[in-house]
Amino acid sequence: MISNALSAVWARVIFRRHNVKIRNINLGEKPVLLAPMEDVTDQAFRLLCKEFGASMVYSEFVSADALIRNVNRSLEKIRVDDRERPVAIQIYGRDVPSMVEAAKIVESEAHPDILDINFGCPVKKVAGKGAGAGMLRNVPLMLDITREVVKAVSIPVTVKTRLGWDVPSLYAELGMRNEELGIDTHSPAEHSIPHSSFLIPNSKTPFIVELAEQLQDCGIEALTIHGRTRSQMYQGEADWTLIGEVKRNPRMHIPIIGNGDICTAEQAADAFSRYGVDAVMIGRATFGQPWLFKDVRTYLDTGLHDETMTLDWKMDVLKRQVKKSVEYSLREDNALKERKRTELGGIMHVRRHLANSPLFKGIPDFRQTRVKILRAETQEELFALLDEAKERILGIAENR
Ligand SMILES: Cc1cc2nc3c(=O)[nH]c(=O)nc-3n(C[C@H](O)[C@H](O)[C@H](O)COP(=O)(O)O)c2cc1C
């Protein structure tokens, strides 16, 4: 996202500030969203990010099949607290009937503000079975699922996807419809292996530009694009140019949410001004620093960084995150009675956040402490390790 002064000025002229709305959900100006992340964006974390200014938060994805098989177990993932609204619940799956049924369950059991469909997960156990990013190789089925899910629920439906399957397919045409190819879209077995024949190379219009239009025609009310192909997984740099092209397409009228590699307030501002997106979504950069939203929000609103966040304050936030995670894990819930909920469950969930906190970057020989954080089993242990880390940061500051 290296800025080019001229295009930034031009983009500012074209993309004037406005309140971004998904139907009647007002996300305000230049919204900053918390990305859906498996095993990361649980309710405890979502609430913290919300508190620090995230304009909307997403649940980790939930499998449509798992949701249908055992609603009670999945309720934990789709449970919504009013304080986190607006909140989106994300589902993934590989056939129309299960996605429609799962969408209805989510709407009636969890009452989220938005239902998001995942067409971007690159991992083998998902994409290899034709779900998530696997749908990028079976666009007709992707569109059928989207259209039917939109019809099945009354809340707004949104989609999150990637630029394409791989680099050669970035300029592929979407291909023929299933019916033309004689494929039954309602039979999951037919679609367990992604069909590359749906992609015909050498279109002049980027694949994602055409796909975005077609998804919009299916009735979705916002589209998130992660600027990578499925083959890239999480490697290389996110390419925002094609996200910008989707936004510039005059046929698009739904909000376009850009995602990929935003780690700082400046990068978020650049994404808005240079690529004209309606909202940005941040994922990995929030690990161990949910307060990132506070700084990004302040910067977008005032052009200045938030200087109020001291080391003590940040440490308190991390401790609160630990407490919330444990609280969340121990919470009584009829639906969860069958499950053993322990303090350790909450600790295990939060350890990875803490170990990856950018706050600890630059502490010499921190590896040992990081390992201890990843092995800690109680709140007390974690708090002691956080205190130790804090002393070391203060020591470094004093010696400067
Ligand atoms: C640990 C992890 C879990 C993820 N889980 C999901 C998920 O459940 N649903 C989804 O749409 N994307 C998921 N993603 C992708 C992120 O939402 C996001 O698109 C990606 O990390 C790029 O954004 P970033 O560079 O800001 O992290 C996940 C990413 C990570 C690192």
Range of the domain at 335: 311-399
* Ligand 1 pocket, residue 63 CB under 6 Å: no
Kindly state whether residues 257 and 334 are assigned to the same domain: no
**Angstrom distance (rounded) from CA 203 to CA 206:** 7
Question: Do residues 353 and 321 make contact, with C-beta atoms less than 8 angstroms apart?
Answer: yes
Using DSSP's 3-state secondary structure scheme, residue 294 falls into helix
Kindly state whether residues 200 and 71 are assigned to the same domain: yes
Radius of gyration (Cα) for the chain, nearest Å? 22
Kindly state whether residues 321 and 228 are assigned to the same domain: no
Kindly state whether residues 262 and 385 are assigned to the same domain: no
* Ligand 1 pocket, residue 226 CB under 6 Å: yes
Place of tokens 């969890």: 110
User: CA separation (Å) from 390 to 165, 248, 348, 386?
Assistant: 44, 46, 21, 6
How far is ligand 1, taken at its centre, from the CA of residue 353, in Å? 14
Exposure letters 120-148 (e unless 16+ CB within 10 A, then b): bbbeeebbebbbbbbbbbbbbbbbbbbbb
* Ligand 1 pocket, residue 191 CB under 6 Å: no
CATH at residue 249: 3.20.20.70
Task: Tokens for 206, please give them.
Answer: 């980027």
Kindly state whether residues 291 and 384 are assigned to the same domain: no
Task: Tokens for 379, please give them.
Answer: 């709140």
* For the CA of 92, the nearest atom of ligand 1: 9
* Ligand 1 pocket, residue 35 CB under 6 Å: yes
Residue of minimum CA distance from atom 6 in ligand 1: 37
Question: What ranges in 153-248 are assigned the alpha helix state H?
Answer: 207-217, 241-248
What pLDDT sits at residue 312? Answer: 96
Q: Which amino acid is at 148?
A: E
Say how many residues make up the chain: 400
What pLDDT sits at residue 343? Answer: 84
Residue of minimum CA distance from atom 21 in ligand 1: 283
How far is ligand 1, taken at its centre, from the CA of residue 122, in Å? 10
**Angstrom distance (rounded) from CA 37 to CA 259:** 13
Q: HSE of 310 in the Cβ direction (CA atoms, 13 Å)?
A: 4
What pLDDT sits at residue 187? Answer: 42
Q: Which amino acid is at 99?
A: M
Kindly state whether residues 263 and 350 are assigned to the same domain: no
How far is ligand 1, taken at its centre, from the CA of residue 260, in Å? 9
Question: Do residues 398 and 363 make contact, with C-beta atoms less than 8 angstroms apart?
Answer: no
How far is ligand 1, taken at its centre, from the CA of residue 37, in Å? 5
* Ligand 1 pocket, residue 61 CB under 6 Å: yes
How far is ligand 1, taken at its centre, from the CA of residue 283, in Å? 6
In a mutational test of the pocket of ligand 1, which residue from 33, 34, 37 has the highest number of ligand atoms less than 8 Å from its CB?
37
Residue of minimum CA distance from atom 15 in ligand 1: 37
Q: What is the pTM of this model?
A: 0.89
**Angstrom distance (rounded) from CA 192 to CA 155:** 29
Torsion of CA 174, 177, 181, 182, to 10 degrees: 150
* Domain boundary pick from 248, 282, 302: 302
> How many whole angstroms from its chain centre is CA 61?
9
Each residue's pLDDT expressed in tens, for the chain with a length of 400 residues: 545 555 555 555 444 568 999 999 999 999 999 999 999 999 999 999 999 999 999 999 999 999 999 877 788 789 999 999 999 999 999 999 999 999 999 999 999 999 999 999 999 999 999 999 999 999 999 999 999 999 999 999 999 999 999 988 898 877 544 344 444 444 433 333 333 445 555 567 899 999 999 999 999 999 999 999 999 999 999 999 999 999 999 999 999 999 999 999 999 999 999 999 999 999 999 999 999 999 999 999 999 999 999 999 999 999 999 999 998 888 755 445 545 567 888 899 899 899 999 999 989 989 999 999 999 999 999 999 999 999 999 988 777 7
* Ligand 1 pocket, residue 257 CB under 6 Å: no
Residue 225's DSSP bridge partners are: 161, 258
How far is ligand 1, taken at its centre, from the CA of residue 74, in Å? 19
Beta carbons within 10 angstroms of residue 203's beta carbon: 17
* Number of structural domains found in the chain: 2
Kindly state whether residues 364 and 272 are assigned to the same domain: no
Torsion of CA 183, 186, 191, 196, to 10 degrees: 50
Close Cβ partners of 108 (under 8 Å, ≥ 6 residues apart): none
Kindly state whether residues 319 and 210 are assigned to the same domain: no
Q: Which amino acid is at 180?
A: E
Kindly state whether residues 145 and 17 are assigned to the same domain: yes
Close Cβ partners of 6 (under 8 Å, ≥ 6 residues apart): none
Please return the burial class of 33, using the count of CB atoms within 10 Å of its CB with bins 0-12, 13-18 and 19+: buried
Question: Do residues 248 and 225 make contact, with C-beta atoms less than 8 angstroms apart?
Answer: no
Angle among Cα 207, 213, 216 to the nearest 5 degrees reads 135
Kindly state whether residues 210 and 278 are assigned to the same domain: yes
* Ligand 1 pocket, residue 60 CB under 6 Å: yes
**Angstrom distance (rounded) from CA 42 to CA 217:** 32
* Catalytically annotated residues: 121
Residue of minimum CA distance from atom 31 in ligand 1: 284
* For the CA of 116, the nearest atom of ligand 1: 11
Task: Tokens for 131, please give them.
Answer: 């779900």
Biggest CA–CA distance in the chain, Å, is: 72
* Domain boundary pick from 302, 332, 367: 302
How far is ligand 1, taken at its centre, from the CA of residue 259, in Å? 9
Kindly state whether residues 354 and 282 are assigned to the same domain: no
**Angstrom distance (rounded) from CA 61 to CA 58:** 8
Question: What ranges in the chain are assigned the alpha helix state H?
Answer: 5-14, 43-51, 64-69, 71-78, 96-110, 124-127, 139-152, 207-217, 241-248, 265-275, 292-302, 311-330, 343-355, 367-375, 379-399
Task: Tokens for 34, please give them.
Answer: 């918390």
* Ligand 1 pocket, residue 259 CB under 6 Å: yes
Kindly state whether residues 256 and 144 are assigned to the same domain: yes
**Angstrom distance (rounded) from CA 25 to CA 157:** 12
In a mutational test of the pocket of ligand 1, which residue from 38, 40, 78, 229 has the highest number of ligand atoms less than 8 Å from its CB?
38
* Domain boundary pick from 268, 302, 336: 302
What pLDDT sits at residue 176? Answer: 45
